[in-house]
Structure 1
């Protein structure tokens, strides 16, 4: 249904207003380029800025190579091959998404440190003493790349598997008639068709890499995110932090440009037999063992091993503040995640419904601008939000003091309001895409029927659309909830005084080398993230009729 301006107008202007507000962090950061550099900036530029550039580039290149190899390879095996354990791997390979990279870094550091079980067993078996043998250093740039690959490969796995499930059987059948075996069909047909999805998944992983703070900070790898937090918290220099953030924006835009250029104008349309059951190549012997091992290894290293280490640490020592303090942290994290999830779903529903009613370039542009925040690291958003919000708080307080002799205090930055806004900027895209997809599955005839019965647009949304798209709205809320629970850099910079979360608590303990105490809050974050991950896997499996759990 395409309404006029009066019918779709209010929702259209809601979309425009949200997009305008969500551009505040970007403008707040870019305006810093017009300010003269401080002594802190000069010092950083002369000493560590080249190292920031090098380490950030290595992280991007390493993750950009590792994520598509693991994600695409396992997605093809799960989709097209039949081997023991496939049905379990189908959903289990997504579990690393529930494991924040910084939590995995804590677990592997305890597991691989000189006093840990691996090196202790190595010394017992060889009789060598510490430093008499070579052992890779986990707290290094290479270690950070490895942690990020193991956590982020599910992005490529999810989108690649969805693309493989959606591919036409006709193209694969034609390649077989031309003499291509399973692997040649993969390289010459399936992989090129899935390239847009693979590139999109890799781009998501790269943006998460640029956003990471906990892993690189704990491993002592200086890059732009650690530099921004250091300039803000340690030096108290907002201008330098914003200028570093503006350089990091260049990396973000480069990743977005790479994704857009790789996709280009390529479009792939399926022919007949789209929903015919995909051919399952049944593997036996060594081939089945190789496929099983290829799927088990990333799952073992990316989830089972670190989760086991965390559980062992929590049971052995745990958090010494477990009790009232622990439940206070859980409450803080829960409140932030719940408020953000509810607001994100509400805004996403209004924006998606406004696009359905009105459409047009203005709404489309607003959606794209409002979704840009997901590509921005939390440190950039934190700096971009705090600068204008703090200026507003100070200006309002000064005006009230001068006019009425009263103080407003820090209305926005003194509580959780600014932090929730930063979360919304960061994660609205996740909610918007999910809700928009659910709304798109509702036939336009439902809108026409509601209108003929006299229902106004908002009444139709509440009484007709919302009950139908409730699963999509719930999924969107769960994903945002988990993302907020895991988020560290923005929380670390923007949280109110004496207001810690599970993520901050785990980071603080780990920074003080109290890894056993960091295990309890870290394990709680992981446990919260598991159910939405499983639901996400089942939703993808239902996307293709003929697949187990798919539509009939």
Structure 2
């Protein structure tokens, strides 16, 4: 429905026909070019960092490996826009780094020295990659961890060195996981609006936002959104092609775990640095900077009832969306598992496409049907009851919850599917033969076995809901703010440091779930 409404909005008005030539000549070329460069840069950096660190922690033993294995996933809790705000402040002229440099050298102004400015395309690529690489890291780490020892040992016996073992054995086997992780990275990059706007990158997402709100053209925003959807579908097609060209299979029996090779001296130091630097720049430095800002500016006084209400709004919206996503995921997967109809599985795949739709595009597509529903209910209420209920969905947080559920339903479906994959259909048949009904099978068989995977999916949805900014900015009612919108407002006014406490609360709320996910994935492989 949102996509149909989006296409209709882009094509059905006189304004749409008049504004398209202007967009095609002046807006889309620059936005497409900037978006393509941003996607390429972030994708390459995330592939290098995520795959490289995953290979090191799964194949080698070195000092601190056990801690670094789960610490590498912590940037998952940091929103890209908050990280961008932090690095602009940290690297700015008045920031601690340049201040220390001037104190050491005696320089006084930028005429005396040169310092890189992060507010450009290159800065956006590096900053966003530091936050998004865990998507690649977690997916490739999981696949590297299940590779049988016999494959690697056979390659070593045939004379394969470290580099050849990675390029000829590890990377080809991990290519499906790498493609899936990179697709998530690129979709999250497309979805971003706060970081790209603050860092001066004119992306497609930012063009949708400015065309809709700043220029007041809903039709023009819808047209840019349709172009953006073509980019999304192209990414999905490339990912499917990369996964489908080659297939690899391991032994049907449980593979013997590979004994990690211990590194010494210079090699061990390189491994520690390669794994520690992403943690330092992707999580430790941003969190430390926020803590220092909160303490130095005595922002703890902001922790009043108003800020707690904002925190409660964010937790309520994200928590409600997580519960609905898990509930719908259980229903969809269970129906596909029990049902014999051929159309059930394709319909489940269709329901999971929302994650591929960026938040700005989804908000734009939901606006028309949700407003239509609100107006229909209001008209019927006035006609038959003499009451005016106002905007039921758009005027409350319900529209935001709907947007979160549509966008993150794929996480719930995949989580339930992975949990139920260990339950053989023959067990279901045996339970039915003993007289168990569908509800009893779900309660006594499916839920206990699939609970860890379902809980992990719920945590992921919760963390992503806390960080979601584009849909929240566009669909929230005027009387509803969250921590994310408050941080964005401070940064837009050039006083991000005033929102340091709110930014820290967002990160802390998502940090514990991210730690649980990372440590659970590490412990399951031993």
What interval of TM-score do these two structures reach, taking the shorter chain for normalisation? over 0.9
Please report the RMSD computed on the Cα atoms of aligned residues, expressed in angstroms: 2.0
Aligned to 1:421: 402
Cα deviation code 1:429-477 (max 9, x no counterpart): 1111111111222243542343244332123223442244333332222
Q: Secondary structure at the match of 2:423?
A: coil
Measure the CA separation in 1 of the matches of 2:523 and 2:56: 18
Superposed displacement of residue 38, structure 1: 6.1
Pairing partner for 1:142 from 106, 118, 122: 122
Superposed displacement of residue 508, structure 1: 0.7
Q: How does 1:198-209 map to 2 (within 5 A)?
A: 198-209=178-189
The runs of 5 or more residues in structure 2 that have no matched partner are none
Aligned to 1:386: 367
Superposed displacement of residue 360, structure 1: 4.5
Aligned to 1:28: 5
Aligned to 1:70: 49
C-alpha contact 1:337 1:482 (8 A) present in aligned 2:
yes
More displaced, 319-328 or 409-418?
Answer: 319-328
C-alpha contact 2:10 2:220 (8 A) present in aligned 1:
no
Aligned to 2:378: 397
Aligned to 2:97: 118
Measure the CA separation in 2 of the matches of 1:156 and 1:108: 23
Superposed displacement of residue 313, structure 1: 1.0
Superposed displacement of residue 190, structure 1: 1.2
Pairing partner for 1:538 from 486, 498, 519: 519
Distance change (3 Å), C-alpha of 1:328 and 1:470: same
TM-score with structure 1 length normalisation? Answer: 0.90
Pairing partner for 2:84 from 72, 93, 105: 105
Distance change (3 Å), C-alpha of 1:492 and 1:131: same
Measure the CA separation in 2 of the matches of 1:299 and 1:459: 45
Distance change (3 Å), C-alpha of 1:204 and 1:334: same
Aligned to 1:497: 478
C-alpha contact 2:148 2:257 (8 A) present in aligned 1:
no
Measure the CA separation in 1 of the matches of 2:20 and 2:283: 40
Aligned to 1:20: none
Measure the CA separation in 2 of the matches of 1:416 and 1:47: 36
Measure the CA separation in 2 of the matches of 1:237 and 1:260: 35
Q: Secondary structure at the match of 1:48?
A: helix
Cα deviation code 1:36-56 (max 9, x no counterpart): 426655544443332211111
Superposed displacement of residue 92, structure 1: 0.4
Measure the CA separation in 2 of the matches of 1:272 and 1:522: 47
Q: Secondary structure at the match of 1:277?
A: coil
Superposed displacement of residue 151, structure 1: 0.6
C-alpha contact 1:319 1:518 (8 A) present in aligned 2:
no
More displaced, 93-102 or 391-400?
Answer: 391-400
Cα deviation code 1:381-417 (max 9, x no counterpart): 1001112211232344345545665434222222122
Is 1:302 matched with 2:282? yes
Measure the CA separation in 2 of the matches of 1:443 and 1:273: 16
Superposed displacement of residue 238, structure 1: 1.8
Measure the CA separation in 1 of the matches of 2:151 and 2:429: 38
Measure the CA separation in 2 of the matches of 1:264 and 1:443: 25
Distance change (3 Å), C-alpha of 1:283 and 1:273: farther
Measure the CA separation in 1 of the matches of 2:395 and 2:217: 19
C-alpha contact 1:170 1:272 (8 A) present in aligned 2:
no
The runs of 5 or more residues in structure 1 that have no matched partner are 1-23
Distance change (3 Å), C-alpha of 1:79 and 1:463: closer
C-alpha contact 1:389 1:418 (8 A) present in aligned 2:
yes
Q: How does 1:207-218 map to 2 (within 5 A)?
A: 207-218=187-198
Distance change (3 Å), C-alpha of 1:188 and 1:488: same
Measure the CA separation in 2 of the matches of 1:416 and 1:42: 36
Q: How does 1:361-510 map to 2 (within 5 A)?
A: 361-398=342-379, 400-401=381-382, 406-510=387-491
Superposed displacement of residue 233, structure 1: 2.2
Pairing partner for 1:327 from 305, 308, 332: 308
Cα deviation code 1:12-44 (max 9, x no counterpart): xxxxxxxxxxxx122222223422426655544
Q: Secondary structure at the match of 2:342?
A: helix
C-alpha contact 1:319 1:519 (8 A) present in aligned 2:
no
Superposed displacement of residue 513, structure 1: 1.5
Measure the CA separation in 2 of the matches of 1:143 and 1:43: 29
Measure the CA separation in 1 of the matches of 2:284 and 2:417: 34
TM-score with structure 2 length normalisation? Answer: 0.94
Distance change (3 Å), C-alpha of 1:313 and 1:361: farther
Measure the CA separation in 2 of the matches of 1:98 and 1:210: 18
Measure the CA separation in 2 of the matches of 1:113 and 1:538: 35
Measure the CA separation in 2 of the matches of 1:142 and 1:508: 24
Measure the CA separation in 2 of the matches of 1:42 and 1:310: 45
Is 1:172 matched with 2:118? no
Measure the CA separation in 1 of the matches of 2:430 and 2:466: 41
